[in-house]
C-alpha cells in the first residue's frame, strides 16, 4: 500500500498536487480540510465546532480530527493507497496515524513537503479567497496566523518522519506540472 503524506504550509499547493497524484497512482484522497468544510456545509455538530477554530486560522482539536480521519479510512477498506492531504498537522496526529496504520498492517510510505516562501503563500491564498468563499482565505492576519500555527505545530512533523528516512522536500514554486514531476520522482524512487 502506498501511503503518502502531502505536506506543507497553507496554500503551498497540497490540494492542487493531490488532484494529479490521484490520477497517476489511483489513490484515495483524504483532505481533512475538505472533510471539515463538508461538515460545516451540512451544519453538523462536528462542523459547527470545526468552524469555530478554522475561522480564526487555528487547528481543529486533535480529538475531533483524528476520529474523523479514522472514520474516513475505515469507510474505504479496499483502496491500494491513500494521499493524506493536510493530515497530520500535529505530532500527536502523526503518532495516532502511525498507530492506526500499524494496526491495519501498513505504514506511512513517504512524506513529501512543498516548500513555498511565506509572501507567496499569502498572495496565493488571498487570490483563492476571491472565489473560494472561505472566510479563512480573505483576511491577511488570519492567513499569517495559519502560517505561524504551521511553523509552530506542524513543521516539526517533517523531522519526525526524517528519523525514519521518509521525509522529502520539493520546491513548491513554478509550474504545477514541474512540481508534480518532482513529487512523482520521489515516489517512484521508493515504489
Chain positions contacting ligand B4P, by CB under 6 A: 8, 10-16, 31-33, 36, 53-54, 57, 59-60, 65, 86-87, 89, 93, 124, 128, 136, 146, 176, 179
Q: Are 116 and 173 in contact (CB under 8 A)?
A: yes
**In terms of Cα–Cα distance, which of 138, 134, 183, 185 is closest to 7?**
183
Q: Measured from the CB atom, is 25 or 53 closer to ligand B4P? A: 53
- Supply the DSSP string of 149-186, one letter for each residue: HIIIIITHHHHHHHTTT-EEEEE-SS-HHHHHHHHHHH
Q: Are 114 and 53 in contact (CB under 8 A)?
A: no
Q: Measured from the CB atom, is 87 or 161 closer to ligand B4P? A: 87
Q: Measured from the CB atom, is 26 or 61 closer to ligand B4P? A: 61
* Minimum distance, C-beta of residue 140 to ligand B4P, in the bound complex (Å): 14
Q: Which residue is nearest to ligand B4P (CB)?
A: 33
Beta-strand ranges (E) seen in the chain are 2-7, 28-31, 81-85, 110-115, 167-171
* Minimum distance, C-beta of residue 32 to ligand B4P, in the bound complex (Å): 3
* Minimum distance, C-beta of residue 119 to ligand B4P, in the bound complex (Å): 13
**In terms of Cα–Cα distance, which of 74, 36, 81, 78 is closest to 55?**
36
* Minimum distance, C-beta of residue 106 to ligand B4P, in the bound complex (Å): 19
Q: Measured from the CB atom, is 90 or 167 closer to ligand B4P? A: 90
Amino acid at each position: 500500500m502506498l501511503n503518502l503524506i502531502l505536506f506543507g504550509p497553507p496554500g503551498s499547493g497540497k490540494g492542487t498536487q493531490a488532484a494529479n497524484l490521484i490520477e497517476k497512482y489511483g489513490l484515495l484522497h483524504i483532505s481533512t480540510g475538505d472533510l471539515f468544510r463538508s461538515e460545516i456545509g451540512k451544519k453538523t455538530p462536528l462542523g459547527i465546532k470545526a468552524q469555530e477554530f478554522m475561522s480564526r486560522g487555528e487547528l481543529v482539536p486533535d480529538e475531533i480530527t483524528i476520529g474523523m480521519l479514522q472514520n474516513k479510512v475505515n469507510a474505504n477498506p479496499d483502496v491500494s493507497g491513500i494521499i493524506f492531504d493536510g493530515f497530520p498537522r500535529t505530532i500527536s496526529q502523526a503518532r495516532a496515524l502511525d498507530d492506526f496504520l500499524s494496526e491495519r498492517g501498513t505504514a506511512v510510505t513517504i512524506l513529501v513537503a512543498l516548500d513555498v516562501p511565506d509572501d507567496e503563500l499569502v498572495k496565493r491564498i488571498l487570490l483563492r479567497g476571491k472565489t473560494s468563499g472561505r472566510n479563512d482565505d480573505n483576511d491577511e492576519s488570519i492567513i499569517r496566523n495559519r502560517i505561524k500555527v504551521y511553523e509552530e505545530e506542524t513543521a516539526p512533523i517533517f523531522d519526525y518522519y526524517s528519523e525514519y528516512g521518509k521525509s522529502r522536500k520539493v520546491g513548491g514554486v513554478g509550474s504545477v506540472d514541474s512540481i508534480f514531476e518532482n513529487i512523482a520522482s520521489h515516489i517512484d524512487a521508493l515504489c
